[in-house]
Structure formats: structure tokens, C-alpha cells
């Protein structure tokens, strides 16, 4: 084929692609979002299958497993145990009395749904958990689009949903982990909060609190949001904001939200109720573990088994900083991270997300700083910061920029799956968890 013919073929191909894009742009929004999400999951599945071909000896199955075995490892095995065996009434301990790894570290809604689906259909537990994860991920990205659509145009919201779908750790949305279910419930709760449907958000928040440990930062976000919205009333009543001449003494009905719209009496009381319900929900799983085992620290003892030492707020970040950057720069690293994150929160694209979504991101990062032991699993725990995907889409409307972000995310999926999901024993034993 000569050069002229090759150029003509390339033009024809691109014209067909452009025509297909124009036709898909006329599809309903849910079909556009869902189709792009499923395409992203297909790409991730191809990466999983390619990595499985290179998988050697591991703790779970023979080398070179098939796709379904390959995605049912790591925490997927713990969720499977919670589904089939439930949670231990007595915490397992070693010979010296130290608590060992057990199912109490894994929240109950995901395995409970898996048990219900397996009971109704007769399918294997691993298959039921995988199906729930896939459906939850699809539903989550649809809800995320609706949330983003409140803040941006259709095209920008669609790109934000694509960024979430292709995020470097997005492959976890198609494996038997609770991340996809938690993402769905979190996105739904945030959508209801932004729309000010606080009463409807209460049951969603309770379910979210029992899917993964996101209840504490969510309760903090709602509590701070209430104070933020109620400040005009509180300020006038307690003398923090002097009333102008002729201004009546405000009751709760006169409370103004700090945003552009005003909050009514019912909305503020509902917001306060959501804060209370979320706070209760955040403590439900540790309380259930206490009630079943008789040990008030059952949950925290179990959680700290994986980090190898007791929980000391903030300290793990400095320890990790010293390990990575040395004794001087390591102590400064957490402060540099906080400063960089503060600048990000004040950037114009992120400010456009609105008060609720920015406050959620701040509270969640604050929660990670207080309680998280930074390690390779930290990448996966960044998924609840999904509102920043819309901020990334708002940086530029250039298709070249947005397409480059997607390509880089897909390349980083390769890194995440090959480096962290696939098992490769370290010299000292074990492997870095995904």
C-alpha cells in the first residue's frame, strides 16, 4: 500500500470514529455513562488476564490462574469467609494472647448481600460477591454522573465519570471487594446532601457506615456542614455577629445557609438529624463487634493486627516519611502533603465543586491522617476522594488534556495490577497488599 492510500485509510478510520462518537452523543445520559464504564472495566479485565498469565507461585492457587480465580484473592477471601462462616464470637489469638487476623475487620453489608444472592440463586459465594461488586460499580458511576451534573455541564460531568471509571485503582470496582458498594452508597449520600434531601440521606448513610469505614469522616462532614449553615443564627444569637438595626432576633426559621441559597427550619433540623444518625452509624460496627465478642476493643484490635502495632494518631505518617525520605525530610513530608492538599482545595476547579463536596474531601483526608497507617493499600483508599475527578475535568475543556489523563490512568492501572494485585513474594516473606 502506497503512502497516499495509507493516508486515505487513516482519514477514513478517523471519520468512522468521529461518526460513532457523534451518534453516541445522542444516546441517553445513562447509556453513555454506563457504556463508558463497561468499556473501562473491559480494559481492566484485559490487564488482569494478562497479569494472570505471568502469575507464579502464590498462596491461593496454581500459577497462571484464570481471570475469575485471579480476582478472588487478597481481601476477597476475607469477604468470602465472612459470607460463609460469619464473624467469630471469640477473637482468635496466638500463644501469647495477641489477636490474630479475622473477619471483624471487614464490614458486613457486602458479604450479607452476597449471602442473600447466593441463597436466592444458588450461585457460588465468590460469584455472588463478584456480581454485586460489578453491579454496584456500574450503579455508582451513574450516581456519580448525576452528582457531577449538579456542578457542571453534561460533557464535563461525563469526563469526570470517565476519570473515576479509569482511575488507577478503579479495577478494584470489578473484584469481590466492598469498594464498589461503598462508592455507590457514598455517592448517593453526597448526592442527597447536595440536593438537601437530608431525611432520605439518613438510611443511605447508615448502610454506607456498614459497608466500609467511611462513617467517621462522613459524620464529621455533616456536622461541620451544619455549623457552617447555622453560623448566621448562632452568630447573631450569641453575639458573634451583631444584628443590624431593625433586624429581628433570629429564630431557627431565619437561619441562612452560608451558600447562595437559604436553609429553611426543616432543612436545618434535618441536617442536624443526619449528623446525629451518621455519628451513630460510624460507631455501629465497633459496637456490634463488642456486643458479639464481649471485648470493647474487638474491632480496633482486629484492625491494628494488619499494621503490627497499636493505633497512635498521626504517628504512622511521620514513621513512613522517615522511612522514605530520611530523618529530616521525613518529618517535614506530612506537613508538605497537608500544605499541598490545602492549596488543591483552594484551587479554582476544586472550589467549583461546592461546599459539600470540598468539605467531604477535607474530612476524609483528615480521617486518613489521623487513623491510617500509610502503605500500598493507601492508593485504594483514595477512591472516596472521587469528587476530585470532576475538579480534574474542570481544569481544561481540551480533549487532548482529558484524553491524556485517561491514557495515563490506564497505564497506571497496569502498574497497580502488576505491582500490587499480582503476588510476588518479598525477600522477607509476604507481599505488598493492593
Region 156-164 average pLDDT: 98
pLDDT per position as a tens digit, 274-288: 999 999 999 999 999
User: What is the predicted pLDDT for the residue at 255?
Assistant: 33
pLDDT at 397 over 70: yes
Residue with more model confidence, 356 or 264: 356
Which range among 13-17, 216-220, 282-286, 370-374 shows the weakest confidence by mean pLDDT? 13-17
pLDDT at 248 over 50: no
DSSP state of 99: B
Region 177-196 average pLDDT: 98
User: What is the predicted pLDDT for the residue at 311?
Assistant: 78
pLDDT per position as a tens digit, 304-328: 898 877 778 999 999 999 999 999 9
Q: Could you tell me the pLDDT band of residue 265, with boundaries at 50, 70 and 90?
A: confident
Distance CA 312, CA 320 (A): 13
User: What is the predicted pLDDT for the residue at 256?
Assistant: 34
Region 394-401 average pLDDT: 96
User: What is the predicted pLDDT for the residue at 251?
Assistant: 41
pTM of the predicted model over 0.85: yes
pLDDT per position as a tens digit, 6-62: 555 555 544 565 555 566 678 999 999 999 999 999 999 999 999 999 999 999 999
DSSP state of 262: P
| Domain layout of the chain by residue ranges | 30-421
Place of cell 487513516: 10
Question: Is the dihedral angle over the CA atoms 60, 104, 205, 388 positive or is it negative?
Answer: negative
User: What is the predicted pLDDT for the residue at 297?
Assistant: 94
User: What is the predicted pLDDT for the residue at 26?
Assistant: 81
Region 235-255 average pLDDT: 48
pLDDT per position as a tens digit, 89-100: 999 999 888 899
CB of 49 within 8 A of CB of 418? no
User: What is the predicted pLDDT for the residue at 326?
Assistant: 94
Q: Over pLDDT 90: what percentage of the chain?
A: 80
Place of cell 496454581: 62
CB of 217 within 8 A of CB of 370? no
Nearest to 183 by CA among 199, 202, 161: 161
Q: What angle do CA 194, 34, 159 make, to 5 degrees?
A: 60
User: What is the predicted pLDDT for the residue at 7?
Assistant: 58
* Residues 250, 251, 256, 261, Cα dihedral to 10°: -130
pLDDT at 1 over 70: no
Task: Give one DSSP letter per residue of 118-131, joined into a string.
Answer: HHHH---HHHHHHH
Angle, in degrees to the nearest 10, between helices 29-53 and 125-149: 140
Mean of per-residue pLDDT scores for the chain = 90
Region 109-138 average pLDDT: 97
Q: Could you tell me the pLDDT band of residue 431, with boundaries at 50, 70 and 90?
A: confident
Q: Over pLDDT 70: what percentage of the chain?
A: 88
**How far out from the chain centre does Cα 372 lie?**
14
User: What is the predicted pLDDT for the residue at 429?
Assistant: 80
User: What is the predicted pLDDT for the residue at 258?
Assistant: 38
pLDDT at 5 over 80: no
pLDDT at 3 over 80: no
Bridge partners of residue 32, in order along the sequence: none
User: What is the predicted pLDDT for the residue at 388?
Assistant: 98
Bridge partners of residue 93, in order along the sequence: 99
User: What is the predicted pLDDT for the residue at 154?
Assistant: 97
Amino acid at each position: 500500500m502506497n503512502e497516499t492510500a495509507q493516508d486515505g485509510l487513516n482519514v477514513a478510520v478517523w471519520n468512522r470514529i468521529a461518526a460513532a462518537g457523534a451518534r453516541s452523543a445522542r444516546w441517553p445520559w445513562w447509556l453513555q455513562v454506563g457504556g463508558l464504564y463497561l468499556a473501562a472495566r473491559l480494559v481492566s479485565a484485559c490487564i488482569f488476564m494478562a497479569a494472570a498469565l505471568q502469575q507464579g507461585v502464590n498462596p491461593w492457587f496454581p500459577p497462571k490462574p484464570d481471570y475469575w480465580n485471579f480476582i478472588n484473592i487478597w481481601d476477597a477471601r476475607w469477604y468470602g469467609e465472612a459470607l460463609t462462616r460469619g464473624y467469630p464470637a471469640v477473637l482468635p489469638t496466638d500463644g501469647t494472647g495477641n489477636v490474630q487476623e479475622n473477619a471483624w475487620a471487614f464490614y458486613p453489608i457486602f458479604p450479607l448481600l452476597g449471602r442473600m444472592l447466593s441463597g436466592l440463586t444458588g450461585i457460588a459465594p465468590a460469584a455472588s460477591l463478584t456480581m454485586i461488586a460489578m453491579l454496584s460499580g456500574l450503579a455508582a458511576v451513574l450516581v456519580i454522573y448525576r452528582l457531577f451534573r449538579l456542578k457542571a455541564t453534561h460533557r464535563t460531568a461525563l469526563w469526570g465519570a470517565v476519570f473515576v471509571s479509569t482511575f488507577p485503582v478503579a479495577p478494584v470496582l470489578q473484584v469481590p471487594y466492598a469498594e464498589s458498594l461503598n462508592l455507590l452508597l457514598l455517592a448517593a449520600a453526597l448526592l442527597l446532601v447536595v440536593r438537601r434531601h437530608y431525611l432520605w440521606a439518613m438510611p443511605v448513610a447508615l448502610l454506607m457506615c456498614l459497608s466500609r469505614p467511611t462513617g467517621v469522616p462522613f459524620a464529621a462532614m455533616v456536622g461541620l456542614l451544619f455549623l457552617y449553615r447555622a453560623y448566621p443564627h448562632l452568630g447573631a444569637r450569641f453575639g458573634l455577629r451583631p444584628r443590624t438595626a431593625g433586624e429581628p432576633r433570629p429564630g431557627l426559621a431565619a437561619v441562612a445557609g452560608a451558600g447562595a441559597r437559604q436553609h429553611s427550619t426543616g432543612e436545618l433540623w434535618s441536617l442536624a438529624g443526619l449528623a446525629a444518625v451518621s455519628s451513630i452509624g460510624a460507631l455501629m460496627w465497633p459496637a456490634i463487634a463488642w456486643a458479639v465478642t464481649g471485648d470493647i476493643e474487638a474491632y480496633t484490635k482486629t484492625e491494628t493486627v494488619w499494621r503490627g502495632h497499636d493505633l497512635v494518631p498521626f504517628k504512622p505518617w511521620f514513621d513512613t516519611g522517615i522511612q522514605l525520605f530520611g530523618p529530616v525530610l521525613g518529618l517535614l513530608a506530612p506537613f508538605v502533603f497537608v500544605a499541598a492538599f490545602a492549596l488543591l482545595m483552594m484551587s479554582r476547579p476544586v472550589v467549583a465543586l461546592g461546599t459539600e463536596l470540598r468539605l467531604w474531601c477535607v474530612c476524609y483526608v483528615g480521617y486518613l491522617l489521623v487513623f491510617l497507617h500509610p502503605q500500598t493499600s493507601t492508593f485504594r483508599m483514595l477512591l472516596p476522594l472521587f469528587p476530585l475527578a470532576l475538579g480534574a475535568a474542570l481544569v481544561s475543556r481540551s480533549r487532548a488534556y482529558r484524553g491524556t489523563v485517561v491514557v495515563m490512568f490506564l497505564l497506571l492501572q497496569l502498574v497497580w495490577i502488576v505491582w500490587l494485585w499480582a503476588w510476588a513474594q518479598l525477600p522477607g516473606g509476604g507481599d505488598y497488599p493492593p
